[in-house]
Structure 1
Amino acid sequence: MEATISRRTFLKGGAAAACTLAAAGLPASIAAADTAPHLATLIEIDKCVGCESCVDACREANAAKYPVPVKPFPRMYPNRVKASDWSGKKGVRDRLTPYNWLYIQRAVVDVNGEKKEISMPRRCMHCSNPPCVKLCPWGAARQEKNGVSRIDSELCLGGAKCSSVCPWNIPQRQTGVGLYLDILPAFAGNGVMYKCDRCYDRLSEGKLPACIEACPEGVQSIGPREEIVEKANERAKEIGGFIYGEKENGGTNTLYVSSVPFDRLDAAIEKGSGKPHLRAAEDSMGQANNLTAALFLAPVAGIAAAVGRYYKTIRKEGNRNAS
């Protein structure tokens, strides 16, 4: 059984952790920056047959990370704050959800007078300068040295800032899970945000991301970003094609190559919640208001992250003592 933690104990210890952090330096979202080359992936859309082997592999590899919500959900204040519950819809595969971090987006376009069905894997773009990381007020999102951006489910409060600042609104929320349940469940959040973490744990073990390993058509490849950009441009030249992701949002670590222009693909795909677009995306972190916000939030996020890390520590200790 999981041990409970009193709010008084948490807040008292968290305050001490915050003071320590304030004297120590930068939060993880800033301090993690490194000169090591980012890894990027190339997705060759023309090779994809829409078999969904990548989706199956992603779900299997990440099942242990999926949320297990506590019900009934705490009532939120103000009342306009609504719960987001996907726990009864875990089988949904045609969009991004907290239980489905990769899906196959489909489009039918006219090519030389013939209808052609296009399939493409969609997930987090892993931006080179990710706004989800730089603008998270709780320090719950971080960018690894290899360029992977991920959300720490044990620190996230589900405020959805990461999703609102993402040009593609990638992160998805599940209510009834996470840190907010132990602090102020009615006021301090609404769950945890989830998205592709590019199998960072597998990468740390020298393995390929599950979706890449499982693909029978070799749709995706991974390597240092400079090499992937070069490969994408070579491939685009070979097929008279187009690239998406090289410059979008200031550059991402996910590049797509297609023989069909991306504005035509964007016009043909179904878009909406959990179904990202393929439009050109301006550099959101190049905007003055976001730069200012990032500078202001850095120390705040660092303190919040320190409090969260303290919580993780005492929770684990409590669980060991209770077992």
Structure 2
Amino acid sequence: MKQHDNTLSRAPSARGAVNRRTFLTGVCAAGMAACASALPSSADAAQTDSAPAAGTAQPMATLFDLSRCEGCGACVDACTERNARNYPQPRHPFPAMFPARVRAEDWSDKKEVTDRLTPYNWLTIQHVSVTYKEKTYELHIPRRCMHCDNPLCANLCPWGAAYKENSGTVRIDDDICLGGAKCRQVCPWDIPQRQTGVGLYLDLLPRFAGNGVMYKCDRCHDSVKQGALPACVEACPLGVQEYGPRDAIISKARKLAQATDGYLYGLDEAGGTSTIYVSPVPFELLNTSLTRSAGHPDFPPVQPVLQPQKHLAGALMVAPLAGMAAGALKILGTLRKDRDSGHAPAAAHNKEQDHE
């Protein structure tokens, strides 16, 4: 088995204001909860990815066997069909941004684009022809979020909009996200994509704070929690993808690479991911053959991230602040949805419940 060497490699709305007392009460509660959750408990210290706490989701992963994929696009179509209800519906015209150099990113008139990642296309297939050991390979590579074990997008989002579930799925909360694109800046694969003219920023300071919402694959988390497979996995007619418990997927990926004299990507890159590729050619070769541009991920030689304990002191300082911001924004986002839908205000969801 040859493992990839990762050292290479609304205008502001005039309709209804948020109740100040409700908002401040929620902020305080969110801050206290965030401070408590930032401190590791003995149970947390004993928990590992391979042994999730009782009652929580089990860490899951996806295996991509690139030797099987024929690029039929069934996975892309299935992704669009299942997730269309979650796609952005921007309001035009967009607020003028300050400074003027800040650009709007609008894909609302290009929803049919599938040859790259967009806010309306969370899975794309890359096609590449490579010659290796005097043999030419025509490879088709499904690409979407890698769902990192230690996701930089979640660790560094200043508003707590990006987060990782116990299942290993990394999500972006569109109730909170302000579209600052920090997640895309720190993602080794530049995965999240922005749509301007949608989201909470429109009700805050649309010229100065935010620029929309970031979107990416969430592994069909709502369907999966009901017992279904991710749409792309379910739709593939050739068994290119397999979704299951992370330990089992990693074991199968290693055995497959060994049996086929193949190469692995995703086990160690960026500290490890829940997306494992097995390829008949080295990923360094794939990386040099792919066209690198926005919305077209490559296979960079990502260095492993530092161990979480090395950042513990900083995390304990930042987590309460990010948690307070997330709590406040969550309340605002929930009230905004209730207002726009004409419903009576509902209590904001506790995001920890969404993580289970």
Q: Same fold (TM over 0.5)?
A: yes
Structure 2 Cα separation of the partners of residues 42 and 241 of structure 1: 13
Give 2:352's aligned residue: none
- Aligned residue type for 1:283: P
Structure 1 Cα separation of the partners of residues 29 and 98 of structure 2: 32
Question: Structure 1 219/93 Cα, relative in aligned 2: closer, same or farther at 3 Å?
Answer: same
Identity of aligned residues (%): 50
Q: CA deviation at 1:20?
A: 1.7
Give 1:19's aligned residue: 28
2:114 pairs with one of 78, 93, 97: 93
- Aligned residue type for 1:58: C
What is the DSSP-based 3-state SS (H/G/I as helix, E as strand, rest coil) of the residue aligned with 2:67? Answer: helix
1:123-153 alpha-carbon deviations (Å, 9 max, x no partner): 0000011111111111111111101001011
- Aligned residue type for 1:120: I
Question: Structure 1 198/321 Cα, relative in aligned 2: closer, same or farther at 3 Å?
Answer: closer
Q: Please tell me the root mean square deviation across aligned C-alpha atoms, in Å.
A: 2.4
Does 1:310 find its partner at 2:331? yes
1:225-246 alpha-carbon deviations (Å, 9 max, x no partner): 1111110110000110110000
Structure 2 Cα separation of the partners of residues 295 and 274 of structure 1: 34
1:69-97 alpha-carbon deviations (Å, 9 max, x no partner): 00100011111211001111111111100
State the TM-score, normalizing by the size of structure 2: 0.83
Contact 2:190-2:295 within 8 A present in 1 as well: yes
What is the DSSP-based 3-state SS (H/G/I as helix, E as strand, rest coil) of the residue aligned with 2:129? Answer: strand
Does 1:68 find its partner at 2:89? yes
Number of aligned positions between the proteins: 318
Matches within 5 A, 1:1-323: 5-6=15-16, 9=18, 13-26=22-35, 35=48, 36=52, 37-284=58-305, 286=307, 294-318=315-339, 319-321=341-343
Mean alpha-carbon deviation: is it higher for 88-97 or for 34-43? 34-43
- Aligned residue type for 1:278: F
Contact 1:107-1:119 within 8 A present in 2 as well: yes
Q: CA deviation at 1:202?
A: 1.0
Q: CA deviation at 1:114?
A: 3.9
What is the DSSP-based 3-state SS (H/G/I as helix, E as strand, rest coil) of the residue aligned with 2:126? Answer: strand
- Aligned residue type for 1:153: D
What is the DSSP-based 3-state SS (H/G/I as helix, E as strand, rest coil) of the residue aligned with 1:25? Answer: helix
- Aligned residue type for 1:24: A
Question: Structure 1 294/279 Cα, relative in aligned 2: closer, same or farther at 3 Å?
Answer: same
Unaligned ranges ≥5, structure 1 = none
Structure 1 Cα separation of the partners of residues 21 and 305 of structure 2: 37
Structure 1 Cα separation of the partners of residues 38 and 74 of structure 2: 33
Question: Structure 1 208/54 Cα, relative in aligned 2: closer, same or farther at 3 Å?
Answer: same
Q: CA deviation at 1:21?
A: 1.7
Structure 1 Cα separation of the partners of residues 330 and 36 of structure 2: 11
Question: Structure 1 83/291 Cα, relative in aligned 2: closer, same or farther at 3 Å?
Answer: farther
Structure 1 Cα separation of the partners of residues 144 and 91 of structure 2: 27
Question: Structure 1 248/17 Cα, relative in aligned 2: closer, same or farther at 3 Å?
Answer: same
State the TM-score, normalizing by the size of structure 1: 0.91
Question: Structure 1 208/199 Cα, relative in aligned 2: closer, same or farther at 3 Å?
Answer: same
Q: CA deviation at 1:162?
A: 0.6
Question: Structure 1 224/277 Cα, relative in aligned 2: closer, same or farther at 3 Å?
Answer: same
Contact 1:174-1:193 within 8 A present in 2 as well: yes
What is the DSSP-based 3-state SS (H/G/I as helix, E as strand, rest coil) of the residue aligned with 1:110? Answer: strand
1:159-188 alpha-carbon deviations (Å, 9 max, x no partner): 001111111110000000000001111111
- Aligned residue type for 1:139: G
Give 2:349's aligned residue: none
Structure 1 Cα separation of the partners of residues 38 and 96 of structure 2: 31
- Aligned residue type for 2:234: E
Structure 2 Cα separation of the partners of residues 232 and 167 of structure 1: 22
Contact 1:124-1:170 within 8 A present in 2 as well: yes
